[in-house]
Amino acid sequence: SEISSTNGEDVFGSKYTSRTTNEYDIIASQAKRVSSDTNTVSENIFGGTVVTDSHVDYLYDELGNFTEKGAKGYTTTTSINIFGENSSTSTTNEYEIINGQPKLKYSQTGPDLVNPSGEAGSILKEVESALTGLVGAPEEKAQELAKKTGVEIAPEVKKNITLEYIKTIMDWFWKASTNVINCAVNVLRNIFKEKAIDINEGNIAKDAILVDVLSGVITPENAKGELKLSFYAILKSAEKQGVNLRAGNITIEQLKEINLPAVVRINRNHFVLIKGIDSDKVTYLDNGVETVKAISDFKYEWDGNVLTAQLPQAVAELTLKEMLEIRGSDQDPLTIYDTSPTIKDSKGNDIKPGKSSEILDYFTSDGKTKLGTCKWTNNYTWNDSIWVGGFSIEWNYTNPLNSGDTKHVTKTWQYGENAPTEPYPDPTKTKPADKDPGTYRDSTSPLDPISHTPDWTDTEHWKDNSQWV
């Protein structure tokens, strides 16, 4: 995280404080800013207080470049007048890429408070009441709530919970943009529907929210953006209704063998319910809408985590810590998953997918005698999320200084392996052996494998395991 704070006064002399938190993640082997949150508290000219919270998610593709949208976000503004009355609005912001950076394209402003009289309002009142009852409560009362939710209250929650702690979380829940009825609630609703369990989505959301608050998943520090419920919240909410699920990490072949339905997470942040799978396609419910996807695309999106009635033999169950860290919401994915990135050869030609070969002839330094031919072959396969390269070199040459001695050598190696240093030319200098920096032969300079005096002048390297630049 990167945090910065600013204090000052506007042109009317009203004071304000602003705090910005930037979060980073590793995307395509690079540290990228994935979100930015700014909280500003200011006075207005009428003596009231204005609280503005801005949230931006930055969207990248597999190579770490901005997607077509570039970013998405919103701004919520809450005004409190001198009589203590408040109002809240939310502005949804859409962006487009201009000169390589996301720029604001469109904004739409509307009210941002959950209707207290509606279903969501009713369940939030129950959540607030349950949490408030924990403040200063004796151990037996805390255990009573733990028993109702089926979870142990995390020690840090017991230690830190105060009315201010609860208020920060509840203020966030009461924003319509938090989206308390999200994908986790929807997969539970579909599971219960199949089991003929009569429970409305409001009570499902209440149970799941309480699990994550009491487990320490939801805290005042991360109460921003859309609500992200955990694998653990789904598991415990299902258990409360008599549906026992187990969490594990399995392969696509194991997924074909288990009993369905099963809850999985795709695109690193979204829960869906698998209904069927065969050799070609996967069918799942996405917020209640049936979706059919090619199994090759699904393999790329899925992280291998699953909630199911029975795990395959020898598959270890996920730990509590692992389940708490697997979270999902209805946000857009961080990357575009529809197509795999294109690989280009040294001349800039697309070679997606499959094989690229390059044949080079080599001569003596005076350019009069052909010494031999070197054939480079790069074989690429799309492995879930990256291009995996297999490299080979076939070297044929004649040594005019040794009675026309001829040599034929073939070397092969795979991505992640060290490239062979023989025969000449040195593969570590002429082609990528991994995504480490390397050099490529200057096409204008002769290469004499007899004297071994090549001129390596053009420095090139792998870019994110997909492009030789």
Cα separations in angstroms, 17 against 11, 20, 46, 226, 415: 15, 10, 18, 24, 51
pTM: 0.57
What's the pLDDT tens digit per position in 350-387? 544 444 555 666 666 677 767 666 665 655 554 444 44
- pLDDT tops 80 at residue 329: no
According to the model, what pLDDT value does residue 64 have?
Answer: 73
> Residues 161, 284: one domain?
yes
| Residue finishing a domain among 87, 111, 135 | 111
Helix (H, G, I), strand (E, B) or coil at 284: strand
Which residues, at least 6 apart from 442, have a Cβ–Cβ distance to it below 8 Å? 455, 456, 457, 458
Check: CB of residue 230 under 8 Å from CB of residue 212. yes
Q: Is the residue at 294 inside a domain?
A: yes
What's the pLDDT tens digit per position in 267-276? 878 999 999 9
Using the CB atoms, write b or e for 106-137: b if 16+ within 10 Å: eeeeeebbbeeeeebebbbeebbebbeebeee
Range of the domain at 217: 119-328
What's the pLDDT tens digit per position in 256-307? 999 999 999 988 789 999 999 998 899 999 988 999 998 888 887 888 999 9
Beta strands 15-27 and 30-43, pairing class: antiparallel
> Residues 198, 319: one domain?
yes
- pLDDT tops 70 at residue 461: no
Longest distance between any two alpha carbons in the chain, whole Å: 102
- The 8-class DSSP code of residue 16 comes to E
Query: With 0-12 CB in 10 A as exposed, 13-18 as middle and 19+ as buried, what is 390?
Result: middle
Q: Is the residue at 247 inside a domain?
A: yes
Question: pLDDT band at 117, cuts 50/70/90?
Answer: low
| Domains contained in the chain, number | 3
> Residues 27, 89: one domain?
yes
According to the model, what pLDDT value does residue 30 have?
Answer: 77
User: Between these two residues, 106 and 195, which has the higher pLDDT value?
Assistant: 195
- Distance, CA of 322 to CA of 189 (rounded, Å): 23
| Residue finishing a domain among 111, 144, 162 | 111
Q: For tokens 């929210």, what's the residue?
A: 209
